[in-house]
Amino acid sequence: MISETMAAALNEQMNYEFYSANIYLAMSAYCSAKGLDGFASWHYNQYLEEQLHAMKFYHYLLDQNQPVELDAMPKPKKDYGSPLSVFEQALAHERSVTARIYKLVDRALEERDHGTNSFLQWFVNEQVEEESTINGILDKLRLVESSGNGIFMVNNELGQRPAPQPLA
């Protein structure tokens, strides 16, 4: 059994993961409107992945016999600037997610909630991967700067990202 404060914090994170999904969907729409279908596809797949993350929290709460509390979320913005700016904003957002996950781990450790700590370790590792992936894309975008040919190549590469598989 988890504490009420832990359940509330996990519900808050679940809702933030849904918000993250909406941010990536908005980024996908922005890229699509700019004719950057590979960028749009990458962000759409990230949207799907963030929904899966939210559902992990959803199921964990239910498994712990805790209520799931869905909240309204802020509307994501519509304009993200250049391809480089889109990914800079994505990295900043992922860093905010990482900070939130770390706070949850700290809370679990303070409460000696070993089950929740174990559950959260998947997210700790996932955030390392998320930030690393976006940093790699940013490196490529900085390398090509605003070169049309370079953006075209990165766009094609990003379009090759497979859709995420449902989590077990």
**Which residues are documented as binding site?**
17, 50, 53, 94, 127
**Where is the binding site for Fe cation, in residues?**
17, 50, 53, 94, 127
Specify whether the backbone of 112 is left (phi greater than 0), alpha (psi in -120 to 50) or beta: left
